[in-house]
Amino acid sequence: EVQLVDSGGGLVQPGGSLRLSCAASGFTFSNYDMHWVRQAPGKGLEWVSAIGVAGDTYYPGSVKGRFTISRENAKNSLYLQMNSLRTEDTALYYCARGNYSVSGSHFDYWGQGTLVTVSS
């Protein structure tokens, strides 16, 4: 059974740092692109980052230069290092697996989310 378990969230002051983790099981982790998606309280979904099987990384402008996505295939783990945190980064952060096929791509499995609160 495919499982993604998010962890590492918490309360942090503006300007601080936090590292999120996503533990994957039930599939060959190294074969899949992985993503982070966040949702601020009462708001919509925002794609945050992606890492390909070759280690290529992608970010939106809102987090580029502050967040770093990484993966450790030997540990079936995905990470998100978040630096210079702002109050607007407060959100529930989900990891998600990217499923790519000839017909298209989508997120087929999601973690349960881990809550990050940036506040003084």
Partner 1 sequence: AIQMTQSPSSLSASVGDRVTITCRASQGIRNDLGWYQQKPGKAPKVLIYAASSLQSGVPSRFSGSGSGTDFTLTISSLQPEDFATYYCLQDYNYPWTFGQGTKVEIK
Give least dist CB 25 to partner 1, A: 16
* Residue 107 near partner 1 by CB under 8 A: yes
Instruction: Tell which residue, 115, 105, 83, 114, has the closest CA to residue 34.
Output: 105
Around 29, how many Cα atoms within 13 Å sit in the side-chain half-sphere?
21
Binding residues for partner 1 restricted to 54-83, rule: CB under 8 A: 58-61
Give least dist CB 76 to partner 1, A: 19
* Residue 27 near partner 1 by CB under 8 A: no
* Residue 36 near partner 1 by CB under 8 A: no
Give least dist CB 67 to partner 1, A: 12
Chain centroid offset of residue 112 CA: 11
* Residue 42 near partner 1 by CB under 8 A: no
Nearer to partner 1, 46 or 90 (CB): 46
* Residue 113 near partner 1 by CB under 8 A: yes
Beta bridge partners of 40: none
Q: Which residues of 28-48 are buried (b: 16+ CB within 10 A; e: fewer)?
A: ebeebbbbbbbeeeeeeeebb
How does DSSP classify residue 38? E
Which residues contribute to the site for partner 1 (CB under 8 A)? 35, 37, 44-47, 50, 58-61, 94, 103-108, 110-113
